[in-house]
Structure 1
Amino acid sequence: MLSPQSLTEMLSALGRGADDARDLAEHEAHGLFADMLDGRIPALELGALLTSLRWKHETADELRGFARALNERVPTLELPPHLPRMVVIPSYARAGQAPNLMPLLAIMLARLDVPVLIHGLSGRGAPAGSLDVLERLGHLPCATLHEAQDTLHAGRCAVLATEVLNPALDGLIRLRDRMGHRNTAHVVAKLLDPAPLHSLRVICVADPQLLSRLQDTFLRSPEQALLMRAPDDDGFADPLRRPRIELFERMTSRTLFEAENGALPLTNPLPPASDVDATARCIREMLDGQRAIPQPVLNQVAACLYGSGAARDLTHAKATVSLGLAHGPH
């Protein structure tokens, strides 16, 4: 716990702007975010710290410390040992203009017997986004951890509000409406892990500098993650043009798919992410075989199958996706 003097010194060190601020060591970042989550920092100082970190940008060491503090305060979801790793998908951004087919990815994975957990803000003025699409597809947020675990055991993707996983993180994220901008909690939420060493986190970001810092973060971690760039920093990558997809495991990285370049392919128009009802209808048509699923989405499903251990290699993963489509509803 930071003493008043230590808190003042940290504010002074962090509040000097992007060029002059001092970076925190991992243990300092861990202690700072633990104090934030445990409510030990007064409101004025909390706002100043969050703003300072936003403009300074979090380093890989800071992100590791923040994530460790958070995940020490997140309950663990237990799954049967025969199941693949649980795919964990954060969804916190407001709806952008890119088509949002993340719910399609989640449901396809669940149909292929991969446990999937999606977490994000729910209720109380939460921005329209993936969780609303999932509700319209019949996947309501689970009220409790026990319900989420039962849902996963039943072979359906589970949706959990951040408030259920960690109410303090939920509160920090919701400060956006009062502060007028996002803060460090939005980034750290992407690193939330309710199944340590038994999960595959799928993380999409729009900012190339943040993408680089996350790459450094996972190269120092034994945990597994898929990392890719998204057009709007929502919970999913571009379904029209495949991004580079990297798998991080045991402090190494491997590129599963290279980024596509060139003009966008000619395809049936997809609804904007802001149109929740149209997006849900589009996904339902794809799941029912009435509409083609964009190839970039199929590639991302294959990457998740391989990264979760549900497929022995990428070729097997691609074949599993094709076979699943061939035997799915039409």
Structure 2
Amino acid sequence: MAIAAYIKEIGRGKDGARALSTAQAHDLMSQVLDGRVSDLELGAFCLAMRIKGETAEELAGFVQATHERCLDLRPALAQAQAHAQATMHTPLLGPVLLPSYNGSRKLPNLTPLLAWALAQRGVAVLVHGPRQDPTRITSAQVFAAGGWPVAEGDADVASAWAARQPAFMPTEVLCPGLARLLAVRWVIGLRNPGHTLAKLLNPLGLGMQVVNHTHPEYAVSLSNYLALVSANALLMRGTEGEPVADARRQPRFDVFLDGQRQEALCRAPVEGVLVSLPELPEGREADVTATWIQSVVDGRAPLPEAIAAQADCLVSALAVLSARRSTNTEANTGSSTATNT
């Protein structure tokens, strides 16, 4: 089916538009990411979806098509895990994926600090996002200012993880088609489904992903998506759209394993009047932020409690996932043994 037929369904306005099936959404996004649509069709698709909004089923199809076009990082993870076992005799936890697509507008961008806090807890961390944003300070700029690993391929990711460091990968490296879709924003002046897709990516299909939203109503639609695809994720309100807890006041953390909300792993938000503010960088510039983050990594400045709580929450979720995987493996082994005997 041509994309014009899809636009006819989704482009009937807020009240008249019809949702696509997961299969239709997958086909549409496949054509978009592969560059098989005209600029006019691409603009029409972006505007139509902006007005209509995405259903959980449409997001599932969009994300599936995007995952199929992402760089395969599973060999890099296996290599880093083998290195950790051979040299440190301790398993490498994770991975945890941090989608960094909003950047810093008023506050310091502390997504790289969360990445370091997780790495220091033995987690393989992948931050992905744009290199630059003309209106924001990106995580890529903070990583570059700190001299931390910016991955231009899977080998760079494997090296960073083997060294127990977080890795940043530009979207154009992780998924070139998605980077092109995101760039449409600078032509038409509006965000499009690509910005939602970017925050839902987990091409490894393993570990935990942080899914953040900026408005409370999105928590409902994103919860529906996570349940539909049986995702393992931490859902939260981000800091200026970044997947890191506000250092000044911890938000609610909702943990989903296999698509089901886990009350025991969730954390309530910090309420009430703040008695004191945490120590933060004295500016939001990339070099200032990177220098301050390095001081926290080196132990010369305290890690804000809200970010420590987020890192601990993710590590606890990874521990439960690991235990479930071990139990399933043992059960499958036992079943196979019983069958053979």
- Relative to structure 1, the CA distance from residue 285 to residue 311 in structure 2 (aligned partners, 3 Å threshold; closer, same or farther) is farther
User: Which residue of structure 2 lines up, in the alignment, with residue 168 of structure 1?
Assistant: 177
User: Which residue of structure 1 lines up, in the alignment, with residue 166 of structure 2?
Assistant: 157
Residues 189-220 of structure 1: CA deviation (Å, up to 9, x unaligned): 11222311x22111221122222111111112
User: Which residue of structure 1 lines up, in the alignment, with residue 327 of structure 2?
Assistant: none
Question: 2-side partners of 1:311 and 1:254: how far apart?
Answer: 12
CA RMSD of aligned residues (A): 2.2
Amino acid at match of 2:45: L
Pick the structure with more helix per residue. 2
Question: 2-side partners of 1:34 and 1:265: how far apart?
Answer: 51
Unpaired runs of at least 5, structure 2 = 82-90, 324-341
TM-score by length of 1: 0.86
Counterpart contact for 2:278–2:304, Cα < 8 Å: no
User: Which residue of structure 1 lines up, in the alignment, with residue 152 of structure 2?
Assistant: 143
User: Which residue of structure 2 lines up, in the alignment, with residue 216 of structure 1?
Assistant: 224
Q: Which has the larger radius of gyration?
A: 2
Question: 2-side partners of 1:124 and 1:254: how far apart?
Answer: 35
Q: Does 1:237 align with 2:245?
A: yes
SS at match of 2:255: strand
User: Which residue of structure 1 lines up, in the alignment, with residue 28 of structure 2?
Assistant: 32
Counterpart contact for 1:93–1:233, Cα < 8 Å: yes
TM-score by length of 2: 0.84
Question: 1-side partners of 2:55 and 2:283: how far apart?
Answer: 30
Residues 258-290 of structure 1: CA deviation (Å, up to 9, x unaligned): 112223341245348742222223222222323
Is 298-307 or 279-288 further displaced after alignment? 279-288
SS at match of 1:309: helix
- Relative to structure 1, the CA distance from residue 144 to residue 271 in structure 2 (aligned partners, 3 Å threshold; closer, same or farther) is same
Q: Does 1:286 align with 2:309?
A: no
Question: 2-side partners of 1:312 and 1:221: how far apart?
Answer: 19
SS at match of 1:195: coil
User: Which residue of structure 1 lines up, in the alignment, with residue 88 of structure 2?
Assistant: none
Alignment counterpart, residue 270 of structure 1, candidates 263, 277, 280: 280
- Relative to structure 1, the CA distance from residue 141 to residue 312 in structure 2 (aligned partners, 3 Å threshold; closer, same or farther) is closer
Amino acid at match of 2:291: R
SS at match of 1:10: helix
SS at match of 2:123: coil
Amino acid at match of 2:106: Q
Q: Alignment identity in percent? A: 32
Question: 1-side partners of 2:157 and 2:251: how far apart?
Answer: 30
- Relative to structure 1, the CA distance from residue 122 to residue 14 in structure 2 (aligned partners, 3 Å threshold; closer, same or farther) is same
User: Where do 1:1-330 residues align within 5 Å?
Assistant: 2-3=1-2, 7-78=3-74, 79-80=77-78, 82-122=91-131, 127-196=136-205, 198-255=206-263, 256-268=266-278, 270-271=280-281, 274-309=284-319
Question: 1-side partners of 2:133 and 2:234: how far apart?
Answer: 30
- Relative to structure 1, the CA distance from residue 127 to residue 232 in structure 2 (aligned partners, 3 Å threshold; closer, same or farther) is closer
Aligned length: 308
Question: 1-side partners of 2:247 and 2:115: how far apart?
Answer: 14
Residues 216-238 of structure 1: CA deviation (Å, up to 9, x unaligned): 11112233111101242123231
Question: 2-side partners of 1:272 and 1:121: how far apart?
Answer: 24
